[in-house]
Amino acid sequence: GAGVSQTPSNKVTEKGKYVELRCDPISGHTALYWYRQSLGQGPEFLIYFQGTGAADDSGLPNDRFFAVRPEGSVSTLKIQRTERGDSAVYLCASSPGHRTSGDPTDTQYFGPGTRLTVL
């Protein structure tokens, strides 16, 4: 029974480097979300995909952050020129899509997260 998986589980990088974080959603889920969670905080919305397209990227903090989902399944969050302030746990969630599930709220199921540390 595959849930949402994320790789790597931990990533340590140096300031200024480029990183990619991967999310494998639950099979058949059309909606995919990225959130960021800092220590002691609730998750913060970054971007939402419906299928292959980014339907809402209003939560991306700046243009160093970019995400893709080219085939409507796996998604990659890309961060350029990393800064120490980017250190956080990056969470991915998927959901069936409210039109598929019939649930107007379209429950989101989360992966374990990738802990990013920028030195």
Name residues whose C-beta falls within 8 Å of residue 18's C-beta, 6 or more positions apart in sequence: 78, 79, 80, 81, 82
Closer Cβ to other proteins, 55 or 83, answer by number: 55
Q: How far is the CB of 107 from other proteins (least distance, A)?
A: 6
Q: How far is the CB of 17 from other proteins (least distance, A)?
A: 24
User: Of 27, 73, 26, 65, which is closest to residue 49 (Cα–Cα)?
Assistant: 73
Q: Which residues contact other proteins (rule: CB under 8 A)?
A: 4, 31, 33, 35, 40-45, 48, 50, 55-56, 59, 91, 93, 95, 98, 103-113
CB distance 94 to 75 below 8 Å: no
Closer Cβ to other proteins, 81 or 99, answer by number: 99
Closer Cβ to other proteins, 21 or 43, answer by number: 43
> Which residues lie across from 116 on neighbouring strands?
11, 88
